[in-house]
């Protein structure tokens, strides 16, 4: 997932990460970066040729972002549910976008839409060495055996 430039600039990074962590997801990779154009084009390659492609690339490269890898049962679905619908006007109250965003172009966070895309995106932003496997003592209270 990516806390986009609007989330970072608005000081919502901590709140966004907190909500995902409180959900029971575990961070195994986390860093602040500035995405360059080449990386943005790889990340948004699926949208190349669409009318909004240039604005996506321009926006994601406009300021620092926080990228993260989360782990947990059905992590992609859990993140997407916590984040809310892409269009904040349609996002439920209690979701990140429903509570903090008002426009689709400034919707605070990118969340992978499938496990397959999550793997591709993780590999774009994190080397294997930057992903840390670790045991969390609270897992016994979050996960069933």
- Give pLDDT tens digits for 80-127: 999 999 999 999 999 999 999 999 999 999 999 999 999 999 999 999
Q: What is the pLDDT of residues 11-39, one digit of tens each?
A: 999 999 999 999 999 999 999 999 999 99
- Predicted confidence at residue 41, as pLDDT, reads 96
Q: Label residue 19 left, alpha or beta by phi (over 0 means left) and psi (-120 to 50 means alpha).
A: alpha
Would you please indicate which residues are annotated as catalytic (active-site) residues? 110
- Predicted confidence at residue 70, as pLDDT, reads 98
Over range 55-70, report the average pLDDT: 97
Domain range summary for the chain, segments of one domain joined by + = 2-133
- Token pair listed for 75: 């992590």
Starting at the edge strand found earlier in the chain, the sheet holding 2-3 runs 26-33, 65-71, 2-3, 109-110
CATH code of the domain occupying 2-133: 3.30.70.141
DSSP structure class, residue 9 = H
Q: How many CB atoms lie within 10 A of CB 120?
A: 14
């Amino acid at each position: 997932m990516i806390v986009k430039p609007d989330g970072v600039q608005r000081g919502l990074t901590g709140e966004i990460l907190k909500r995902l962590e409180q959900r029971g997801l575990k961070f195994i990779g986390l860093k602040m970066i500035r995405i360059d154009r080449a990386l943005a084009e790889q990340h948004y390659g699926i949208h190349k040729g669409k009318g909004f492609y240039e604005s996506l690339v321009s926006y994601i490269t406009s300021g620092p972002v926080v990228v993260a890898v989360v782990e947990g049962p059905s992590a992609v679905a859990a993140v997407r549910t916590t984040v809310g619908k892409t269009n904040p006007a349609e996002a439920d109250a209690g979701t990140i976008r429903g509570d903090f965003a008002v426009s689709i172009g400034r919707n605070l966070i990118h969340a992978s839409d499938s496990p397959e895309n999550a793997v591709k995106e993780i590999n774009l932003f994190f080397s294997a060495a930057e992903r840390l496997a670790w045991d969390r003592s609270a897992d016994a209270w979050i996960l069933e055996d």
